[in-house]
Amino acid sequence: MDRSFPLIGGGELSLREHDGRVRIAARRPEDRQGLWKGWLLGPEGRRLLLGTFLPEDGALVLRRDLARSELERQGLWPPAGGEAVLAFQAGPSGPERGLSHTVPAGWASVRDLSMCFRDPVLRAAASGVSGSVCRDGAGGRLTALPFLPGRPLPLTPLFCLMEPVCLEGRLWLQIRLDADGWPLPPKPKEPDP
C-alpha cells in the first residue's frame, strides 16, 4: 500500500507498506517558526506522535519505520492522515537573539559543558559549546542550552533526549543527567485531565 495525505498544518505525509513494515515520511516547508512535531492520525480520533521535524535540504522532514501490527494494535490502521503541529514557537531573531543571554533564576552558568558528561563522545561534542546553564536536582543534574533558530544545533548526539523548555520567556533545550553524568530521557509528562 502506498498512500499520501496532505498534512494538517502544511506539507505532505506518505506511507509505504512492505513486508509488514510501514515507512512513514512527512515533509513540510522550512518556515523558521520553531519546532514542529508530526502526528499520525487514525480512525476514531486516535493519534500517534511520530517525532520532531528536522531540517533537510531546505525543508523540514520526519521519517519513521513502524510495524503494521503495532499500528493495528494501537487502533491506527488504516491511517486517516497526518498533522504537523508547531510545538514550540521560536523567539525573535537578529542581534537581540545572539549567543549572549541572561542566566535564568535558579540556574548557574556552565564554563565547560564537556565536564558535565561522562561519555567521551558527548564530552567531545560539548567541547566549545557556550551559553549553557545547569542546576542540580534529586539524583542528578539538569543542563540547558539556549535554542537559537537558524544556528546549528549543539550536542546533536543528544538531540533525541533534549526537551524544549521555556525559562524566563526564552526557549532552551534541556538535558537530564544522572549523578554520574550519563544522559537520561526526559521525564514523562502527566496527561491532561
Q: What pLDDT digit, counting tens, does each position of 60-82 carry?
A: 999 999 999 999 999 999 999 99
Q: Give pLDDT, residue 99.
A: 42
Mean pLDDT to the nearest integer, 101-120: 86
Asked whether residue 25 carries a pLDDT value surpassing 90, the answer given is yes
For residue 76 the three cell numbers come to 491506527
In angstroms, the CA 54 to CA 123 distance is: 24
Range with top average pLDDT, 8-22, 43-57, 127-141, 163-177: 8-22
What contacts 24+ positions apart, CB below 8 Å, involve 115-122? Answer: 116/141, 116/143, 116/177, 116/181, 117/177, 117/181, 117/182, 117/183, 118/180, 118/181, 118/182, 119/181, 119/182, 119/183, 121/157, 122/155, 122/157, 122/158, 122/183
Give the Cα separation of 47 and 135 in Å (integer).
Answer: 35
Label residue 159 by pLDDT band (50, 70, 90): confident
